[in-house]
Chain A
Amino acid sequence: MLKRLSALLVVLALVAAACGDDDAATTTTVAGTQATTTTAAATTTGGGGDGGQAGEGILAQVQDRGVLRCGVSGAATAFSEQQPDGSMTGFDADYCRAVAAAVLGDANAVEFTALTAAERFTAVQTGAVDVLIRNTTWTQSRDTDVGMDFGPTTYYDGQQVMGRTSAGFTGQSTLQDLEGAVVCTNAGTTTEKNITEATAALGVNITLNTFEDFNQVMDQYLAGACDAVTTDGSGLVGRKATQQPEGEEWVIFPPSPISKEPLGPTYLQNDSQWADVVNWVVFATIIFDENGVTSANAADMQANPPTGEIDRLLGGEGNLQGAMGLADEAFFNVVSQVGNYDEIYARNLNPVGLFREGSLNASFVDGGLIYAPPAR
């Protein structure tokens, strides 16, 4: 019995060790991952963990580790979707890649962690993710309370309502027109509260049905069980573009959203070096867009920079990136591997019917809010 058992164990150990060696050789660039410490913390010493935050900034940690841990949703259409092949795509996911390209020179050195709305802030506070880019609204209480800082807004969203023209709604309808309606929405931290507060302030009576997931909301709406649905405008536009049936006309109103939802990256409080890196990755994509630097012409632009600003950002004169703790080529990597703001936007949001023209997300030159401080 004993002999058999121990022989067995030795064999198992050998097989396992062999497996480990083989694959470690092929994937040496990739480090251990938070995502895979399924039960690790349960058995390590208290306080041990695998962060080693003491005294070391997040930037240095990421560079040591060789991979960026980025918190996303994984189930948010066009912002972070898990695709059939397991990859993570979307507007938020691309910004994760942009940060990785800047810090590590490789846009694919990102480890995505899919987080629910409830667990996302804890993940930032405990260092489980280096940066959270999960359509998170920047609010005063979140900024002050929970030990996090917010980066520049990458997408200006706002809550709106969608209804049928057959029910008398037009694009110019107001919340007053919802009197007596059954309004459906998804359980979120803010959407539910916004519509309740907004209608209560106007004295409008509605019946609010709250569902766990927005797909359930749309199923109810399609079946005619809801008179109107409400969520962030970006979600409504996408659904209208893809799910509006023949012979029905849906409209989105009111023209000015009932809430402001600026979405952007979130990171741990009081690490200004890391904050600068994330912020300037976002700003760089915006400046590249303003100056027409794209992933296609980035190499040409680097060779023949049109302006001094572009030259500095692409790693020419000034050593501005070096002062941030990044490689000189950091932002060149961003634009060549991921693209500028317009490219990221068009790639992910145009397919679901969201366009920049005329929206808050147009460049400030075109009357939008997308604006970056100068690079000098």
Chain B
Amino acid sequence: MSVRVDRPQQQPQRVPPWRNVTFLKWAAQLVTLVGVVGLGYILVTQAQENLAARNIDVSFDFLSDPPGIQLAEGISTNPDTVARALFVGIVNMLRVTVAGIVAATILGVLLGVARLSSNWIVSKVATVYIETIRNIPLLVQIIFWGAVVTIGLPDIGFDTGPFGCTEEVDGCTGWLFASNRGVSMAWLFPADGFWQWFSLMLIGIYVSVRVYRWRIRLKEETGAETYSLTWGTLTVVVFAVVGLWIHPIMGFFGPIFGALASLFDGLPRIVVQLVLAAAALGGAAWWIKRFLDSRRTPAGLAKLTDDDIFRIGSTAVAGLVGVFIVFTFTSISSFILDAGRDFFEVAESKFDFLEAGAVFDFNKASLAKPGNFVNYGPTGLTMSKLFFPVFVGVTLYTAAFIAEVVRGGILAISKGQTEAGLALGLTRFQLLRFIILPQAFRIILPPMGNQYLNLAKNTSLGIAVAYPEVVAVGQTLYNQTGATIPVVTLWMLFYVSVSLFISAIVNFFNNRMKLVER
């Protein structure tokens, strides 16, 4: 419940402004806003002065310059532009995040259940693990793993296993190599037809959800077992398999994207400005209309209070400020045009394969000896020795927290439910599957989402062990170019979007769960 103060009563005569609560509140808000904006303005002008004096460039032009650095691992280790280098860092960060989330969830759930186990030693081991890991700073742990993690693994060579080369020659391939250089394994890589197939899959998922709901409805109507989950899964599988051959039918997206690209290319800037300005004004107008509707009573429009008038006024002003910004900072519109053109050009190139090409490239890992040294070849999915300290660190650390979340969730289910379930003749598995987990899941989902968010943010500590994720790459880049402000801005944008994305997913599931509650 928020702090709400009722609107002042209607009084016969107007109160003087210094006694009018509404007026004072709005005055305070406006003063604060002006203060914040003014402070920002002062800081920015000061920064412009300082930057000019120190000859520091804050534009993003350097993104297309050659970076002059090598990256230790990633989708390309010799990026040709700064932007590409940062993108490699982003992919590396996402790699370790996704791998970490999967591993930490499995380990965390196991530990959480183990801590509640009736087996004394199992529960003690889980307790000691949790209390040890979560009370030591993650950075210390990551640095420690960086120092020990490759010890014990063999040196790299053509005899590297465990599922290594059949013939020990240059360029030999195998399924899985593990050495003190890291791990390289066979993997499916997206190929030319991937995006066409992927868009087909999106349709498939949509259809499968419809099928699933239809089967559920059928079950509710008839009471018969309808195998809704099986039906839904099968639909997706059918789309996935058939899509391997028929994905060129999605090729029509290519010309559409092409047309959009040329549209963005040819559009004059004023059009974008007008659209944006209309959006700002329209948004404000829409809000005001909705607000007025909410004040409408059967007896007509209620008399607007001072507070209402201030609200409407500030919304209108915000709309006007939006229009002002759009027309003053023309670079925003230019950026939208350029970014849109580039985006659709890239998209067009992804949808240009009218023959049923490969959707995936399946590559085995390989060992190569380009000079005097054996190393992993470029074909497999390689996670270097730098990947592991971060991966092991964030996984073990987050698992300890997830274990506590899971334990809390299970404990929150009252004991009576277990007893009732057993009395009904449910097996232990059925009890867990149908009684405890569905309820526990609802409780643990929001804190679990927070743990995933923390994990994603904590991968930034890879900087301490030289894992080339986005922060480490960014730091190397600004050390080379001096472009601290753009790099830090990009970091913040990236992490905020990742955070918003993860919380959006968690919120989506959270809402679904709430619906189940009914």
Q: B349 in the interface, Cβ–Cβ < 8 Å? A: no
Interface contact tally, CB-CB below 8 A: 76
What distance in Å separates the Cβ of A129 from its nearest Cβ neighbour in chain B? 19
A336 CB-CB contact with B under 8 Å:
no
A225 touches B181 (CB 8 A): yes
CB distance from B483 to the nearest CB of A (A): 14
**Docked pose: A136 CA to B469 CA in angstroms:** 29
A220 near B150: Cβ-Cβ < 8 Å:
yes
Q: Chain B residue with minimal CB distance to A147?
A: B54
Q: Shortest CB–CB separation between residue B143 and chain A, in angstroms?
A: 8
Q: A216-B146, A223-B150, A225-B385 are in contact. Are A210 and B372 (CB under 8 A)?
A: no
Partner of B371, one of A180, A211, A212, A216: A180
In the complex, are the beta carbons of A212 and B373 less than 8 A apart? no
Q: How far is the CB of A27 from chain B (nearest CB, A)?
A: 36
For the complex, is A189 an interface residue (Cβ under 8 Å from B)?
yes
For B389, the closest partner residue in chain A by CB is A216
A205–B371 touching, CB < 8 Å:
yes
Question: Which B residues are in CB contact (< 8 Å) with A209?
Answer: 72, 384, 386, 466
**B72 touching A180 by the CB < 8 A rule?**
no
CB under 8 Å from chain B, chain A span 188-222: 189, 192-193, 196, 204-205, 207-212, 216, 219-220
Cβ A181 vs Cβ B180 within 8 A: no
Q: How many residues of A contact B (CB 8 A)?
A: 29
* Distance of A146 from chain B, by nearest CB (Å): 9
Q: How far, in angstroms, from A178 to B464 measured CA to CA in the complex?
A: 26
**Interface contact B150-A180, CB-CB below 8 Å:** no
B279 → chain A, closest Cβ, in Å? 43
Residues A181 and B463 in contact in the complex (CB < 8 Å), given A225-B150, A225-B181: no
A301 within 8 A of B: no
Is the Cβ of A208 less than 8 Å from the Cβ of B70? yes
Q: Is the CB of B466 within 8 A of A212?
A: yes
Task: Write the chain A residue with the least CB distance to B480.
Answer: A193
Cβ contacts under 8 Å, A2 to chain B: none
A357 within 8 A of B: no
Asked if A167 and B466 make an inter-chain contact with CB atoms under 8 angstroms apart, the answer reads: no
Contact residues in A for B150 (Cβ distance below 8 Å): 220, 223-225
Chain B residue contacts of A227, Cβ below 8 A:
373
Q: Which of A178, A209, A227 has the most CB of B within 10 A?
A: A209
Main secondary structure of the interface of B (DSSP, over half): loop
Q: Across the interface, do B375 and A182 meet the contact criterion of CB distance under 8 Å?
A: yes
Which residues of chain B come closer than 8 Å to A327, judged between CB atoms?
A: none
Residues in chain A near residue B464, CB distance under 8 A: 212
Interface 0/1 of B58-83, CB less than 8 Å to A? 00000000001110100001000000
Shortest B456–chain A CB gap in Å is 22
- In the complex, A174 Cα to B69 Cα: how many Å? 22
Would you list which residues of chain B between 432 and 468 have a CB under 8 Å from chain A?
Answer: 463-466
* Of B69, B70, B72, B151, the contact of A223 (CB 8 Å cutoff): B151
Report yes or no: A180 in contact with B480, Cβ–Cβ below 8 A. Answer: no
Q: A247 in the interface, Cβ–Cβ < 8 Å?
A: no
Q: Which residues from 369 to 419 on chain B have a C-beta closer than 8 Å to any C-beta of chain A? A: 369-373, 375, 384-386
Most A Cβ at <10 Å: residue of B68, B385, B466: B466
* Interchain CB contact under 8 A, A207 and B463: no
Q: Flag if B72 contacts A208 (CB, 8 Å).
A: yes
Q: Which of A102-156 contact B (CB under 8 A)?
A: 118
B155 at the interface (CB under 8 A from A): yes
A317 within 8 A of B: no
**Is A177's beta carbon under 8 Å from chain B?**
yes
Interface size class of B (residues with CB under 8 A): 20 to 34
| Complex CA–CA separation, A216 to B467 (angstroms) | 12
Q: How far is the CA of A210 from the CA of B146 in the complex (A)?
A: 13
Q: Does B2 contact A (CB under 8 A)?
A: no
Q: Which residues of A contact B385 (CB under 8 A)?
A: 220, 225
Q: Which of B370, B466, B479, B480 contacts A205 (CB 8 A)?
A: B370
Which of the residues B77, B147, B369 comes within 8 Å of A216, measured between beta carbons? B147
Instruction: Return B351 CB to nearest CB of chain A, in Å.
Output: 35
Contact with A along B123-158 (1 / 0, CB 8 A): 000000000000000000000001100110001000
Most chain B beta-carbon neighbours within 10 Å: one of A167, A179, A180, A207: A207
Residue of B72, B181, B373, B479 with most chain A CB atoms under a 10 A cut-off: B373
A181–B375 Cα gap in the complex (Å)?
A: 8
**Docked-complex contact A178 and B371, CB < 8 angstroms:** yes
- In the complex, what residues of B have CB within 8 A of residue A118's CB? 479
Instruction: Check B372–A181 contact: CB distance below 8 A.
Output: yes
Which chain A residues border B373 with CB–CB below 8 Å?
167, 179-182, 227
Q: Does B476 sit within 8 A of A, measured CB to CB?
A: yes
Docked complex Cα distance between A178 and B372 (Å): 7
User: Would you call A207 and B371 a contact (CB within 8 A)?
Assistant: no
Contact string against B for A residues 217-246, beta-carbon threshold 8 Å, 1 for contact and 0 otherwise:
001100111010000000000000000000
Residues on A with beta carbons closer than 8 Å to the beta carbon of B384: 209
For B71, give the chain A residue with the smallest CB separation: A208
Instruction: Using A210-B466, A211-B465, A211-B466 as known contacts, say yes or no to A192 and B69 having CB atoms under 8 A apart.
Output: yes
Complex: chain B residue closest to A195, CB-CB: B70
List A residues at the B interface (Cβ < 8 Å). Answer: 118, 167-168, 177-182, 187, 189, 192-193, 196, 204-205, 207-212, 216, 219-220, 223-225, 227
Interface positions of B (Cβ within 8 A of A): 68-70, 72, 77, 146-147, 150-151, 155, 180-181, 368-373, 375, 384-386, 463-466, 476, 479-480
Extra A-B contacts (19), CB below 8 Å, given A187-B479, A196-B68, A225-B181: A167-B372, A177-B371, A179-B372, A179-B373, A180-B372, A187-B466, A192-B476, A204-B371, A207-B72, A209-B384, A211-B465, A211-B466, A216-B465, A216-B466, A219-B146, A220-B385, A224-B155, A225-B180, A227-B373
Nearest 5 pairs between A and B by C-beta?
A179-B371, A180-B371, A180-B370, A211-B466, A208-B70
* A–B complex contacts, Cβ < 8 Å, 5 sampled: A182-B375, A196-B68, A207-B375, A208-B70, A224-B180
